[in-house]
Amino acid sequence: MKLALRMPGTARQMPFPDYCRWCRENGFDGVDVGPMTPEIRQAVDAAGLEIGTSDLMTFGGLFGTDQEAEQAVAQSVQLIDAAVNLGVPRLFTVFVPPDPARGRAANFARLKETFGPVVAHLERRGARLAVEGWPGGAPHYGALAVTPETVRALLEAFPSPAIGLNYDPSHLIRIGVDYLRFLREFGERVVHCHGKDTTFDSEALYLHGNLGPTFGQAKAFGEDWWRYTIPGEGLADWAKICAQLDALGYDGFISVELEDFRYHRTWKAESEGLIRARRHLALYA
């Protein structure tokens, strides 16, 4: 296994080649990137890094009209081609319908009608999609392929090996799903991992339950009673996670996704969080 990272907020203010050099100098093996361009490929190669995933965030239209779905498919094909042509066969996405109020079942039914051409093109190009189970925003939590129920539905509807998962235990812990059992069931489909964790605040949970604060504002990256944190400072057992991944023969990336209010808003704070996260993951990966 190798360690990578998704670009945090303030890093976007520096030149991308400088960011890549910082990653290499601080022990990371790779970076996750947005849509692929020759400039990204050049900067990553110059720093001696690899690319974990390239973002494919074009699926909103798949839940819309036929015309919107056709446009989304065309955009997806272009980005898949751009990634594969530049040597990146893994693409990252989240299924977040633009209208979560329709309900997950209705949105999933529409996805079944429109997603097939994207799957077919992934297969043609030898690419794989890493679907992340971010639950989506309150109050609907409308994202798809989040829980075991909906992941099973996705893989039943689209059994292609091109459809894989981005394993992120922080989301599973947050919603009460056994993250190790999830890995046992779906581990063969994991093509990428995020290094992120979750912790709960018992005092906040006592004060306002899981409804969130009435008179205050929750800290960034959470709802006060829960929040995301860097690996090693939350509830995930990374020794067990890495042992299970190793047993599966997983040789891809664990990519630090920095969403922790304690390491936020400045590059000094974010870089400290990234280094701490990498140090913990390196004990096991």
Q: What is the pLDDT of residue 195?
A: 99
CATH 3.20.20.150 fits 2-200+228-281, yes or no: yes
DSSP string, 67-89: HHHHHHHHHHHHHHHHHHHTT--
Q: Tell me: the pLDDT tens digits for 209-226?
A: 999 899 988 889 999 999
Region for residue 72 given its phi and psi (left: phi exceeds 0; alpha: psi -120 to 50; beta: otherwise): alpha
Q: How confident is the model at residue 133 (pLDDT cuts 50, 70, 90)?
A: very high
Does the pLDDT value for residue 59 go beyond 90? yes
Q: Report the SS3 class of residue 2.
A: strand
Q: Tell me: the pLDDT tens digits for 217-275?
A: 888 999 999 999 999 999 999 999 999 999 999 999 999 999 999 999 999 999 999 99
pTM of the model: 0.96
Q: How far from chain centre, in Å, is Cα 273? A: 18
Say how far apart CA 171 and CA 196 lie, in whole Å: 9
Alpha helix positions (H), 47-133: 66-85, 104-114, 116-125
Q: How confident is the model at residue 100 (pLDDT cuts 50, 70, 90)?
A: very high
